[in-house]
Structure 1
């Protein structure tokens, strides 16, 4: 009986694919938890340490600053030494730094620890989604990658609930809040030990036999990688190519669309209790909880949208809705709180749903040789935007900051209409090939803009 040979991009979904997805969830959950918990902790430690608005902004954006350096440097390093080593080491750093937050007595030490946590999380953004994309079959790649955002949202939501309950235990409860981040981190660390290296990366390094052994062991004995080997030999890219004519269009688009999503997302939801109070919600715990539910439901719905819609259509329509709804939240008076809440709920749902693409698009935009580097670069640039928004929001009036973020979303709409490529339902090599025929319209429009 002849065994049917199947290429890795067409492999059936198996337990290993689900396992690598679950392990990659860890960084997204921990990132969401880290962002959610700091907003509540700041309301306590701010008074205790007599923090100025500048220090509040720095501590609120500290993990995002670390994410910038981590995604940039560790993404580049991953393309040199492999995905697996960094995939495990990241969570050693997160676990230790999270525990040490319990013992801090000054904002400088806390700032450094938050930077370290962000550094490791940034590296995991670059490496985790890359490793998952390089193992996932094309049929399930979008769903598996977009599902990562569900766990980010779950982490953020759980952190909010934990923070609210721990807040009642006393003025030093912020220490326990921040230290609880070590619990999911150590679980992920232990489970990640033994994760195999990416076969695509091994092939790019000329280690084809090792790649075949991993594919046979984890994907299936009848799974072939000949097409992947042949495609990898056609064009070879290096880090500098991210900024040359062939790939720079994807680097620019990936960076800008990512910034336009995460800048308002992180700024608004880091300081959500404060924003709700300024908008006129006296009992903001209920409103905060409802919006967190919309965040969670939106992230789950986003998995379905990613699967059923084109990447290009999903991002364009989402940016348009976000621009309109955030503008309404900003301009509607307190006498129309019900309509304002409806607009805020729609904004929250769509923002959470489209954020799934921040974990799908980058992994599909770049060739294997620079996939981690490219993902790292666009993630790093996005974190500059999110850190800026998070830092300046406490220093500006609410109306000014909300109008500014509305303009950022409008820019995202324009960029997506002009530049967004379609990468769905292609093999990973086709999706990441800037010369692929389905990318020609995008390249032509973007090239004309850049001239």
Structure 2
């Protein structure tokens, strides 16, 4: 290949498809681990005698861990490379999942869930940065965004499996439920072995010859990365402190704000969906677990048209109209009578509408920052988003007891409205841009993009 940009202008190859599967394995396992706790908590409460505070901490511990994992390991990934961290974080996930099976106290569950969260927080910037830096421009938004679809797929399979295990073994199956992630975790770990380093990262560190060798192994002996050398070497001068000021600071605020607004209600539904559905009379016991699994399936379905629209409609209109669609059912839940099936219907509408922000949570940050700080920025934005998600998840069981479902939903609606306003004022359009153009300081974010 002899064109000016060997990566951005490349056709989609079997290598890209294989890398997508390898990268998607992490989010798949993350969705599995973060959602399965909602079903396991019911059995844990009885066997381990968990208090309301213990239950809140067990549900929120992984999200707190994601905060620290994203903050620390995103930066480390930009320093030492994507390839090594790509495998190490999976080892930690698998190990902590195995130990969860043998936990016999609240503090052990909380500690292991925190460790799992740290590993998940590390995987988000690692996997998304590596995939982003290898993908052709015309497929980048949809394929990076598809990682959240794999997240939803992992969550959906885990919830249906959890429902089946409880139906078969009862609430005592919580140890089997927590240990169920071991098999997919080991498979994903094996698949990731041998994944090549990002040539963009190698060039940003001045290792141009290594980058050339990697690219030629993928694209053939005629491939040439010379057109990217100056660009990627120049981005190495971008420092961590620049994420907190100027144009990059503005981008961090935008991504973090819409991420918080989108993800907080989602995690509340995943972590405490069974309890919420039970409180409004939408089935009892294991049937509420089935309701959560069906809602998770709708989150997955909602991602599918959003993947198409991110490249056809563009990022900005997709984000804005998705927030509008998410706001309506939350307001309805807050002001209208809460019959059980009405709650399930509103949850379903919310889940379908949330596809846009869900896929853009990982596409936007990886497009808007240069190689030298891409994983750092993604880790920082992930950490910011988990502050809101952890606080919201911690407060859900307390709020259900003290405030009721209606007030919880109105609070979620207010947060969603905030996300809508931020998106209208700040959302950029990066559709069709090369990664260099999209991440170039001042180019996409400052443009006065129209709604459609």
Q: TM-score range by the shorter chain?
A: over 0.9
Partner of 2:334: 330
1:395 is aligned to 2:398: yes
* 8 Å contact kept, 1:237–1:369: yes
1:416-449 C-alpha deviation (Å, 9 max, x unpaired): 011111122111111111222x332369xxxxxx
Partner of 2:245: 244
* 8 Å contact kept, 2:159–2:290: no
Matches within 5 A, 1:291-370: 291-334=295-338, 340-370=343-373
Partner of 2:265: 264
Q: Deviation at 1:308?
A: 1.5
Matches within 5 A, 1:50-199: 50-167=49-166, 168-199=168-199
Partner of 1:439: 445
**Scaled by the length of structure 1, what TM-score is found?**
0.93
Q: Deviation at 1:227?
A: 2.5
1:13 is aligned to 2:19: no
Q: Deviation at 1:253?
A: 0.7
Q: Deviation at 1:4?
A: 4.5
* 8 Å contact kept, 1:57–1:390: yes
* 8 Å contact kept, 2:427–2:445: no
Distance 1:338 1:169, change over 3 A: closer
* 8 Å contact kept, 1:322–1:409: yes
Q: Deviation at 1:6?
A: 5.2
| Aligned counterparts of 1:195 and 1:416: Cα–Cα separation in 2 | 35
| Aligned counterparts of 1:226 and 1:279: Cα–Cα separation in 2 | 62
Partner of 1:45: 44
Distance 1:5 1:421, change over 3 A: closer
| Aligned counterparts of 2:291 and 2:163: Cα–Cα separation in 1 | 13
Q: Which moved more, 1:4-13 or 1:181-190?
A: 4-13
Partner of 1:221: 221
Distance 1:163 1:313, change over 3 A: same
**Scaled by the length of structure 2, what TM-score is found?**
0.93
| Aligned counterparts of 1:138 and 1:331: Cα–Cα separation in 2 | 44
Distance 1:297 1:274, change over 3 A: same
Partner of 2:204: 204
* 8 Å contact kept, 1:420–1:442: no
Secondary structure of residue in 1 paired with 2:282: coil
Q: Deviation at 1:135?
A: 0.3
Q: Which moved more, 1:290-299 or 1:353-362?
A: 290-299
| Aligned counterparts of 1:219 and 1:64: Cα–Cα separation in 2 | 39
Secondary structure of residue in 2 paired with 1:86: helix
| Aligned counterparts of 2:422 and 2:104: Cα–Cα separation in 1 | 44
Q: Deviation at 1:342?
A: 3.5
Match of residue 422, structure 1, among 429, 432, 438: 429
Partner of 1:448: none
Secondary structure of residue in 2 paired with 1:109: helix
| Aligned counterparts of 2:127 and 2:141: Cα–Cα separation in 1 | 14
Secondary structure of residue in 2 paired with 1:12: coil
Q: Deviation at 1:340?
A: 4.7
* 8 Å contact kept, 1:5–1:222: no
Structure 1 spans left out of the alignment, 5+ residues: 444-451
| Aligned counterparts of 2:421 and 2:33: Cα–Cα separation in 1 | 32
* 8 Å contact kept, 2:125–2:375: yes
Secondary structure of residue in 1 paired with 2:86: helix
| Aligned counterparts of 1:105 and 1:9: Cα–Cα separation in 2 | 51
Q: Which moved more, 1:383-392 or 1:3-12?
A: 3-12
Q: Which moved more, 1:151-160 or 1:323-332?
A: 323-332
Q: Deviation at 1:301?
A: 2.0
| Aligned counterparts of 2:241 and 2:350: Cα–Cα separation in 1 | 38
Distance 1:381 1:285, change over 3 A: closer
CA RMSD of aligned residues (A): 1.7
Q: Deviation at 1:40?
A: 0.3
* 8 Å contact kept, 1:332–1:340: no
| Aligned counterparts of 2:295 and 2:34: Cα–Cα separation in 1 | 16
Partner of 1:447: none
| Aligned counterparts of 2:259 and 2:75: Cα–Cα separation in 1 | 19
1:142-196 C-alpha deviation (Å, 9 max, x unpaired): 1111111111111111111111111131443111110111211111111111111
Secondary structure of residue in 2 paired with 1:10: coil
| Aligned counterparts of 1:366 and 1:100: Cα–Cα separation in 2 | 37
Distance 1:206 1:442, change over 3 A: farther
Number of residue pairs aligned between Structure 1 and Structure 2: 439
